[in-house]
Amino acid sequence: MAFLMKTMISNQVKNLGLGGGSEEKKEEGGASDPAAAHGMTREEYEEYQKQVIEEKMERDAAFTQKKAERACLRVHLREKYRLPKSEMDENQIQMAGDDVDLPEDLRKMVDEDQEEEEDKDSILGQLQNLQNMDLDTIKEKAQATFTEIKQTAEQKCCVM
């Protein structure tokens, strides 16, 4: 197989005009069969073409899947931050067969973020935030606000 690949690559380089020259032309001798041009039998050449096509289809499928995963992530972020939807992302997801999920590592990150947000929104999360605050500072702000409102009311009302 390695010899086969080496032969094919050297033939491709020579066909580009970068190699061999005159002795290669003598070997080919005007053969119109592509298998002979690549130094293979007909069966080897057909098998090689099948492999090339299968590999290309696999690469294309993997590429389409990755594009759809990225589109899925963008859709998720747009939903999270309430941004407008994108037709292009939805089309990419549909092209992949609507069977697209976030990659595993991104899913873990999203789940962690959701847990943190749920903790902040819960009553216990609010109580923990209150414990972290300085009560004296809150008291001072409340008194300053009350005093400011009282002064404004006294200025506007003659009875007080």
Grade residue 25 by pLDDT with cuts at 50, 70 and 90: very low
pLDDT at 17 over 60: no
Q: Is the pTM of this model over 0.75?
A: no
Counting Cβ atoms within 10 Å, is residue 92 exposed (0-12), middle (13-18) or buried (19+)? Answer: buried
In total, how many domains does the chain have? 1
Rounded to 10 deg, the angle between the 2-15 and 42-80 helix axes is: 90
Residue 86 lies in a domain: yes
Grade residue 59 by pLDDT with cuts at 50, 70 and 90: very high
- What confidence tens digit (pLDDT) does each residue in 100-141 have? 777 777 778 878 877 777 776 666 666 666 666 677 777 888
- Residue 138's contacts (CB-CB under 8 Å, 6 or more residues apart) are none
Q: Quote the domain boundaries for residue 72.
A: 39-97
Rounded mean pLDDT, 37-48: 88
φ/ψ of 101, rounded to 5, equals -125, 170
Residue 34 lies in a domain: no
Residue 24 lies in a domain: no
